[in-house]
Amino acid sequence: MTLGRFFAAALVSIGVVLGTVTVIAQCFLPIGTQVIDPSRVYANGGNSFQIASTLKPEWPLFFEIRSDQSAYPRQSNLIVLEDGRPLGPPHSVHLDIKEKGSGRYSHWAWSTGSMVIFSTSDNSDPRTNGRRYDIAARPVPLSYCAGSVLLLPLFLLALQRLLFPQFDLTIGLMTGISVVTVMVWGSFFFDQVTIAPDSISYIGWWHLVPLGYPLFLSGVRAVFGTLGWAGAIQITFLVSACIFLAFSVKDIEQVRSIEVAVFLLLLCYIPMFWYAGYLLSEALFVPLILLNLAAAFHLIAQQRVRYALVLAITAALILFVRPAGYYIPIGIIFLLIAQRGRARWTLKWACLPFAVCAIATLLINVSVRGNSTPSQMGRVLFPTVAFLFEPQFVTGPYRELVPTIEEALKPHREVYGNTSERAARVAYLTDDYNFRLLAMDMALDEKMAVREKCGASGRRCWFELKEPVYLSLFISTIVNRPFGYANLVFEQIVEAWRTGILIASDPFGSKYLAEANDLPTRLELIQKWGVPLADEEVRLRPDLLDGFAGQFVEMFDAGYRFIREQRWLVYLIGIVTLMAIPIAIFFCRDSIYWLALGYCGVVIHGSILLAAAVTVFIPRYAVPVDPMILVSGAIIIGGLILWSFSKIKQIKFVTMGTGLLKEISDVSIGVRNAPKDTGQEKAWALRGVPPRTGNHQRG
């Protein structure tokens, strides 16, 4: 072993030791608990009470107990227990705790420590009601420790290649991590159903939603006899899509083990896996987008028919599953324009199959619903511009409905008009969206006598009566207030990047406990709407949080918190991917690196623009955007590594220090002394595939 290789191995070993110690400590470090002494509880007025938190981690150099603060208002994983039962919701606004109570609480940073502001389940006084109250929190790794955990597999691969270069453990490591991931998330969502209020729309085949996801749920029920398998199937599908995407990035980059890095980054995005366990269209929507992106990467690097067909089919299925994917065909158009030398081939194997698949989905819609409209449109669109609506805009048969709409919107428009700050204005626009929609629905139901006209014909009739009204109101508003509408969209995009992308969501453990605590309410909802689900199908397993499954998730949850805190990096990725679109089209058509970033830019910015323009940018809608941010970041960093080490190699090494850099360079980049595989190049040439140089150089 050369001296440079020895020092490189020593540096990598430090990272391996730090990451290993953090993982072991994470598995065995006990959960911190504190019994609330009634004599130390202070009344804040109303239903609010306060106690100082004395929870401290045993290893303060490696772990911490985080409390909410202004910059990160949902980072605490502390739980308040009443006689052993968790209260909630956490992260509540202090005024709501005071006025509403009912178990709301907040763990907030203070100048000398942290405090817990809480309320009891029945708004009684915790000092005198005779119940036991505890607070508990699992310590989380500090930022540098969380980073060492995420990089641990890469450190191990680098150490193996420094010490035993004849072996390659990449495939084995990826397989092991993926199997563990499926087992962990499958254990949380196996043989059960986790539902949200929106789930009923899909189970009931309502006209409000596209047909793709209801068809999937019907297929699961037909094959397995129950929807309990849906969560496990969705988790497996998502992990498979992540692996496919991770390996596709290797076609773009030459950095060794880039697929492992991308896969680990995707595993950090906990909200993606959270929604994969629910009966929500996001559970299919996100994996389909990941598959579409992977097919695009493969297609950019290699002109293969199978990748073009996957790109076309996934694009059509995305539209069939969720309207939020209406931007996805722009990706195919981007490749058609940017890769002009392949235009005829792309038209034949990507555009034409996409058109065929899209027409097929429309025919399915016509056969099932009697029309080609995939789902609601106007009913979603109008609440977005409701604050810009003016009565004089409306003409024609819906003029008589204007006073009704005005009366329903009046209190909402007053609050919005009195909000001066952009952030608060956009927050109200988002949070009040469903309330505006409900108010207008109820007003129109009464004014148009919807129930009397429809009788027992059901929701399809309600949908068909009100949909043209909302669509007409939306069009008349944006036609007459184009600048106001553009400003509305611009403000949402700004706030989406500031707070909606990689949002500071609740830690998985506290969110899972809150959902388990809310199950009785969900069961009542199932019975109220007559949803065909048995009570035993709807359950969660909070006991898993204290075992290996919970610790596995928390390790990656800590990584997610670390990543989303780097807002400057998120903004930089957004700027680079936006610039990559024109760069790939006009300046670097021969670079697969810029083509890949350009395609990511189309997905990222197309999704944000669509959500801001036609609905509101609810953080849940950012789920397909966030993985693209992570993948784009990996591609950018990989490209910088390639560029920097290519410059280093041009310098003559004369000292031990530069020799060390060369050893690290050889490990980081796929440098191999084996002769070039001319057989593969000849095989590609026989299929008409251009080589990786010439028209398809690496960036």
Q: What is the pLDDT of residue 71?
A: 65
Of the listed ranges 75-89, 146-160, 623-637, the one predicted with least confidence: 146-160
Within 8 A by CB and 6+ apart from 583, the residues are 594, 598
Q: What is the average pLDDT across 166-184?
A: 82
For range 265-280, the mean pLDDT = 89
pLDDT at 639: 80
5 to 653, 656, 662: CA distances (angstroms):
14, 10, 9
Sequence-distant (6+) residues with CB within 8 A of 530 are: none
**Mean pLDDT of the region 255-277:** 86
Of 257 and 583, the structure prediction assigns the larger pLDDT to 583
Do the beta carbons of residue 637 and residue 643 sit within 8 Å?
A: no
pLDDT for position 672: 40
Asked if 137 and 77 count as a contact pair (C-beta separation under 8 A), the reply is yes
**pLDDT for res 218:** 92
Question: Would you give the DSSP letter of residue 692?
Answer: S
Distance (Å, whole) CA 382 – CA 8: 60
What does DSSP say about strands 85-86 and 42-45: parallel, antiparallel, or unpaired? unpaired
Strand 133-137: give its sheet, edge to edge: 32-35, 133-137, 79-82, 85-86
| Residue 79, beta-bridge partner list | 136
Long-range contacts: 200-203, Cβ < 8 Å, 24+?
200/525, 200/526, 200/529, 200/531, 202/279, 202/280, 202/281, 203/227, 203/279, 203/531, 203/532, 203/533
CA distance 31 to 18: 21
d(CA 488, CA 615): 11
Residue length, the chain? 699
Most confident among 320-334, 554-568, 638-652 (mean pLDDT): 320-334
> What letter represents residue 146's amino acid?
A
What's the pTM?
Answer: 0.79
Which of 252-256, 302-306, 673-677, 693-697 has the highest average model confidence (pLDDT)? 302-306
Q: Is the peptide bond before 627 cis (omega within 30 degrees of 0)?
A: no
Residue-range domain boundaries for the chain: 1-29+147-160, 32-137, 169-374+504-638, 386-480
C-alpha distance across the termini of the chain, in Å = 33
Q: What is the mean pLDDT of the segment spanning 135-143? A: 83
Range from 124-128, 293-297, 348-352, 650-654 carrying the lowest mean pLDDT: 650-654
| Phi, psi values for residue 321, rounded to 5° | -95, -40
